[in-house]
Amino acid sequence: MKPRFPGRRRSSTEDSLKLLKKLFTDIPYMLTVVGFTLVYWGLFFPLLHGIDTNLAFYSITILNAASLLGRIIPNLIADFYGPMNIVGPTAICCGFLMFAMFAAGTIQGLVTFAILYGFVSGATLTLAGVTAFADDVSEVGFALLTGNPLMGALLDAPRYTWHRPIILSGVSIVIRLRIKDIYN
């Protein structure tokens, strides 16, 4: 086996400091990073609470199937309107659907929630506008690693207080809209 691309030279400390200075002085980039960090904190939380195990298994399958469509269709639309113009409405829908999870107590409600949330979360995930600002793939990442542990800590395992992570997920996704308005 051989590498497909030539190896990159290791950057010096001076190069790293220049990159950090560039990243932290680019205001639109920083606001976009903060906004998407908030979205990704809440994006992967939709655990369907209080349902039968068989339905839980199928609801995750339904959510992932709808996510597949959400990763394809909005991206085709984004080719014409731009990814940042499409990711805003999908993030809004994710935030409001997170609050709608409180009302999804029946089988029909949970299946409807799984379809809708799967579609818009798939779109929000693949239309990540941060990559449009980044010069290198190494500049993108981290927020996806912190959201689930944060939601798990709020869930409080012995009592399973679902309202706390649901509220934080919805609020963190919707707050992103105000950050986007700052630099528009």
Mean pLDDT score across all residues of the chain? 76
Q: Domain residue spans in the chain? A: 26-182
Q: What is the pLDDT of residues 6-65, one digit of tens each?
A: 666 555 666 667 777 877 787 877 777 777 777 777 777 666 566 677 777 788 888 889
| CA 33 centroid distance within chain | 12
**Res 116: pLDDT:** 93
Q: What is the DSSP string of 42-67?
A: HHT----TT--HHHHHHHHHHHHHHH
Q: Of 76-80, 83-87, 158-162, give the lowest mean pLDDT range.
A: 158-162
**Res 69: pLDDT:** 93
Query: Looking at domain 26-182, does it have CATH number 1.20.1250.20?
Result: yes
**Res 2: pLDDT:** 67
- Does pTM surpass 0.75? no
Give the residue from 160, 157, 182, 148 showing the smallest Cα distance to 40. Answer: 148
User: Are 57 and 80 within 8 A, CB to CB?
Assistant: no
